[in-house]
Amino acid sequence: MSSFKAYVNDGTKTHTITLPELTIEYLKRQILQVTRPTYVDDILTAIIDENGSHIKTDESVIRAFEKDPVYFTVQFESSFPLLIKVNFCYRQKLILIKTFQEIIQLWKKKEFEVQSTVPSCKVKYPLVLLVGAIKYEQEYLECVKKDLYLLQALFQSKLGYQVFNTYNAQDLKTETLTLDELDKFMMTHSLSLKDGSNTNNTDNDYDGLIFVWCGHGGFGENEEALITSNGRMKDFKEIQNAFITKTEYFIGKPKIFIKITYREQEELKTIKSNRGNESIRKKIWYNRDADVFSIFVNATKKTMLESPEHCFTEVFCKIFENNMNKDLEFIIKQVIKTVFGQAIDREIIQTVSKLYADIYLIPSMPKQLLLSADSSNDKEVKYERPVIEKDNSIETLSFKRHWNRQWRKANAKAAIVVEQMTRDNKQGLVVVAYDTSKWKNKSDNLALFAALVNNSKDDIKEFGEYCMYVINKKLIILENVNIDGNMYVIDCEIQCKGHVDITTQIFATKNSIIDQHLQQSFSIIQWNTKIHHDIPVQFQDLESKEEEHKKEKLFDESIAYLQKYLQIAIDTFGVNHHYVAIAYNMLALAYDDNKGQPEKAIEFFEKALQIMLDLFEMNCSFVAQLYENIGNTYDKGKNGRKQWNVIQK
């Protein structure tokens, strides 16, 4: 005898039921049986399928089971129709109510208060997917890049969620997103999920989903579609169904979909209606369907760039940060009020049934980066930045401003110090800076900073034009300091006074406390031992061995170390990464200077140059050096014409 399986969400949990026959009678019977412990005294008032249709007949049950899996949401009401939960006070004394007649009498006297209690849904470990198309064939949407950055900062840095983003700032190719690339991204993050709970793998045990699209959208009949970089359309409902119906993993878990499309002002006018505030509805609107919360935004590029105070993403992130204890619907209402004004609020907010559970997005990190004592008396909370497991998602040592051997060597040594201090439970600061004479100002602040360094000879080390300073203190106050380089914070508290500028990067271990103003001005990189210590130290060891063998004129052996460097860089970061460019540059120099093979050298120089141009375009000192290297190599080969062409670039 065949049976039919379905899932039932009663607002507090999801149940599995099995029907011997597809009839409304059997469906109700099974629902009442599995929900009995919670709703034993309540009445089943509604059964709703995933399309929002009410199930009332045998025919509607059969239609619902045409899909697989089958998912129902049920609603109950108290057997006393006015109450789900009654809290009351009579003459400020607690009263024991024995019968409904007594409740009715008190209700008529208005001597008790009725409160409807709706179950809440707390999301702490969601899967966050940020998808966006920045570069189109004839258009570049800077606003998409900005929104993706803001949303990643919110979900990753403020809430500590695992975030996967189609855009990688270190890879300019990701500014373009084709339909095939979108489908591949979707497949990777939907079909690969294991159905049901995955308690043995905490990295993938998600309790909800947040999916965001940023880019162009369709018009008219295709208004629900999104448009990829190559002009192809994809129905947004198809994306939603990939997580709602095609995988059982998120059944009974909150699913939040945000679709932000960008249009010209004139384009937006064409989709406005003449009926009341329908035009405003077409700018921001949202709806709820069981455990699915969908938000739709039609934004204008002009507003994004000229009036950020009216930009949905900007407003959403700010309001969310200030209302982390509020549910998602409250936050969206506040966004609408901010963007359109108070009068518009009641025209739009009546789209969600209060029978659905409120969704709360809860920060997942127990550690907090507190504010410095002198910043404010408000108890605002800043959260540490998490590490997300994704290729190239963890920021590595930057080579945009500084990149040479001494820079790499100084930072490798700094990484060793960070790990040593962490293992020894020490607190403090490590600074790698270029030309420290620039730290001086009229009040000789260099002397003030140098006073923080202990007298030990190990606390100050020179690496060519760079210096590394080690400070062992629990509290460090930086006052009017300009550091041209990197700063490493090891479980200590950093406060700032006056103007403080760090030109390159700030790394921080998980228990560090960072000054609020510093957090707002810089992207704090959470320390990752593998990426920030193990790999750079391994690279430095290979560079040192290469230099030793080169001094001994063992050129083949020295090149072998550089080839190993290149392979590790590609295996770890992929082919389009600045560590790979460094490896190619060193190989080119080796073939040019030591092996006398300018053609081979130029081949490697050009590979390095292409990577750096893809990453930083011309805005990088390393790019200028690579052009010079190529020009010098052509000159050695007595190819003046090619050298001139290179210089002309």
What's the rounded Cα separation, in Å, for the pair 292 and 286?
A: 11
Whether residues 500 and 616 fall in one domain: no
Q: For 310, list phi and psi in degrees, rounded to 5.
A: -110, 10
* Single-letter code of the amino acid located at 121: C
In a domain, 378, yes or no: no
In a domain, 330, yes or no: yes
Mean pLDDT of the chain: 76
Greatest mean pLDDT among 46-50, 420-424, 613-617: 420-424
Average pLDDT, integer, range 478-484: 85
pLDDT the model gives residue 523? 85
Tens-digit pLDDT profile for residues 214-260: 999 887 777 789 999 999 999 998 898 888 877 778 877 899 999 99
Whether residues 550 and 642 fall in one domain: yes
Tens-digit pLDDT profile for residues 46-62: 898 877 788 988 888 99
Whether residues 564 and 589 fall in one domain: yes
Whether residues 260 and 213 fall in one domain: yes
Answer yes or no: are the C-beta atoms of 468 and 430 closer than 8 Å. yes
In a domain, 479, yes or no: yes
In a domain, 92, yes or no: yes
> Where in the sequence is the domain holding 94, given as residue range(s)?
85-117
Tens-digit pLDDT profile for residues 257-294: 999 998 765 454 444 444 344 434 447 777 776 688 88
In a domain, 392, yes or no: no
Query: If residue 633 lies in a helix (H) or strand (E), which one and from where to where?
Result: helix 621-636
pLDDT the model gives residue 10? 80
What's the rounded Cα separation, in Å, for the pair 647 and 637?
A: 15
What's the rounded Cα separation, in Å, for the pair 491 and 316?
A: 32
Name the domain boundary from 361, 387, 418: 361
pLDDT the model gives residue 88? 38
Say how many domains are in the chain: 5
Whether residues 191 and 42 fall in one domain: no
Whether residues 328 and 432 fall in one domain: no
Whether residues 193 and 330 fall in one domain: yes
From the CB of residue 98, how many other CB atoms can be counted at a distance below 10 Å? 8
What's the rounded Cα separation, in Å, for the pair 386 and 601?
A: 40
Query: If residue 239 lies in a helix (H) or strand (E), which one and from where to where?
Result: helix 236-244
The pairing of beta strand 485-490 with beta strand 466-471: unpaired
pLDDT at 552 over 80: yes
pLDDT the model gives residue 444? 40
pLDDT over 90 percentage in the chain: 28
Average pLDDT, integer, range 171-199: 77
What's the rounded Cα separation, in Å, for the pair 417 and 413?
A: 6
Tens-digit pLDDT profile for residues 364-388: 754 333 333 233 333 323 323 333 3
Whether residues 34 and 140 fall in one domain: no
Question: What is the CATH number for 17?
Answer: 3.10.20.90
pLDDT at 562 over 90: yes
- Secondary structure class of 193 (helix, strand, coil): coil
Tens-digit pLDDT profile for residues 142-181: 889 888 988 988 888 778 888 899 998 767 889 999 999 9
CA dihedral 387→390→391→397, nearest 10 degrees, is: -10
In a domain, 383, yes or no: no
What's the rounded Cα separation, in Å, for the pair 609 and 569?
A: 16
Whether residues 184 and 97 fall in one domain: no
What's the rounded Cα separation, in Å, for the pair 307 and 311?
A: 7
Tokens at 117, concatenated: 């209690």
Beta bridge partners of 115: 85
Answer yes or no: are the C-beta atoms of 487 and 515 closer than 8 Å. no
219 compared with 585, residue with greater pLDDT? 585
pLDDT the model gives residue 199? 37
In a domain, 42, yes or no: yes
Tens-digit pLDDT profile for residues 311-328: 788 889 889 988 888 889
Predicted confidence band of residue 475 (pLDDT cuts 50, 70, 90): very high
CA dihedral 170→172→177→180, nearest 10 degrees, is: -80
Predicted confidence band of residue 519 (pLDDT cuts 50, 70, 90): confident
Name the domain boundary from 465, 494, 527: 527
What's the rounded Cα separation, in Å, for the pair 183 and 426?
A: 48
- Give the contacts of 536 (CB within 8 A, at least 6 positions apart): 397, 408, 411, 412, 415
